[in-house]
Chains A and B, each alone.
Chain A
Amino acid sequence: MHELSIIASLFEILQEKAQEQKATKIILVKLKVGKLSGVVPEFLQTAFDLYKKDTIAADSTIEIEAVPLKIRCRKCRAEVLQDDFVFICPACGSTELETLEGTELFLEKIDLEI
C-alpha cells in the first residue's frame, strides 16, 4: 500500500504546476496508470481524496485511465495485449519481447482555474 507515497509525489508536481500557472484552483487531475505500474487505481483514488483536503486541489476530481500491458515481439514484430503477465510471444514463442505500454504511472493533464 504505497499509493499514499505516490499521491504525495503527485502533489509535489501539482503544487509546482499550479504555482507556475498562477492557478487559484485545480479542478481535474488525469492520470494514466499501467497494469504493471505496481499500483491499484482504486487505492490511488482513496489516497487522492484523503490527501487533497486543504490543498489547492481540495475540490478537484481525479480521473484514472487504466492502461493494459502491451508487448511487442522483437523477432516476429507481433504486438499483443498481455493480460496474464506471460512474457512469451503467443505468435512465435520468442522470449525477446519489449514492453510498449502498461508500466506507466503518468500525470497526463490538469484542469486549472486561473
Chain B
Amino acid sequence: MEKKELVVELDILGSNKKIAAEIREKLEKAGILVVNLLSSPGSGKTLLLERIAEAFKPNHRMAVIEGDIETERDAERIRRKGVPAWQITTGGACHLEAKQVARLLPEIPAESKFLFIENVGNLVCPASYDLGESLRCVLLSAPEGDDKPKKYPKAFVTADCLIITKSDLIPFVPFDLERAGNEALDINPRLRIFVTSALQDRGIAELARFFIERRVAMIQRHA
C-alpha cells in the first residue's frame, strides 16, 4: 500500500460556476437579461415581480423562474399577469443551483427580454450560487430592520443592486433608511439602491427603467 499526497486546488463549486457561465453567455447573446432576486422569505419578491410585469407591459416581454421549497403558488401569481412562469420546488433545499435553471432554458420563449429568477427565500445560502445572472438584486423589506447588510454580508457584497421594499411601512417600524443604505454601501460601494413600495406604486417605474437600461448596456457589450 502506498500513500500519496495529491494537490488538487479546485473550486468546490466549480461545476456550478461553469454551468452558470454557459447560461450567462447564451442568454446575454440572445438579448435576455437574467436577474437573480435574493431575499429573506416574505420580503416582497413576488409582488415586486407582479408590479414590474405591469410596468413592462406590453413592450418588454419577461419570463420568471420561481424557486420555493414547496407549492406552485408564486408561479401561478406571475402567470395571472400574463407572464410565462416556471416553478422549481426544491423539496427542502435552501437555494437554487445553476443546473436547475439550465434545465428550464429550452422552455424560455425566444422573444423574452428579461428572465427573472426568484430565488428561495433565504439571505444566506443563495448568495453562494451563481445562476448565470447578469444582475443580482438583493431585497430588504423595511420590517426586517436596517441592520441586515452587515449581518448577511455575502448577499450584499455579491449584489449589484439593493431594493428596499415595503417603504410605506417605514413610518411604523424601526427602520432608518439612511442607516440601511449607508451600511449596505459600506460593504458594497458599487451597490445601486432603489426604494420601493409595491402597494403605493413607488419606485417601481425607476426600477423597471434601470432593468431596461442594464439590458441595453448588455446588448451593446455584445454588439
Contact = CB atoms under 8 A, between A and B. Distances in A.
Nearest to A110: B6
A87 B189 contact: yes
Given A2-B94, A87-B187, A106 B5 contact: no
A38 interface: yes
B93 interface: yes
A80 interface: no
Contact of A87 (B2, B4, B186): B186
Nearest to A23: B4
A76 interface: no
- Size class of A's contact patch? 35 or more
Residue with the greatest number of chain B CB neighbours at <10 A, chosen from A17, A27, A86 = A86
B33 interface: no
Interface stretch (B110-118, B121-129, B137-145, B165-173): B121-129
Nearest to A12: B15
A66 interface: no
Contacts of A39: 128
A65 interface: no
B9 A106 contact: yes
Contacts of B10: 13, 106-107
Given A9-B16, A105-B13, A2 B125 contact: yes
B80 interface: no
B99 to A, nearest CB: 11
Contacts of B223: none
A99 B152 CA distance: 18
Contacts, number: 103
Given A5-B97, A9-B12, A87-B189, A21 B153 contact: no
Given A2-B125, A85-B187, A9 B15 contact: yes
B150 A114 contact: no
Contacts of A81: none
Contacts of A112: 3-6
A6 B13 contact: yes
A24 interface: yes
Interface in B1-37: 1-13, 15-16
B12 A86 contact: no
28 contacts: A5-B97, A6-B13, A6-B128, A9-B12, A10-B12, A13-B8, A23-B4, A36-B154, A38-B125, A38-B154, A39-B128, A84-B150, A85-B157, A85-B186, A85-B187, A95-B189, A105-B11, A106-B10, A106-B11, A107-B8, A107-B12, A109-B5, A109-B6, A111-B5, A112-B4, A113-B1, A113-B4, A114-B2
Interface of B: 1-13, 15-16, 93-95, 97, 124-125, 127-129, 150, 153-154, 157, 186-190
Interface of A: 1-2, 5-6, 9-10, 12-13, 17, 21, 23-24, 27, 31, 36-39, 84-88, 95, 104-114
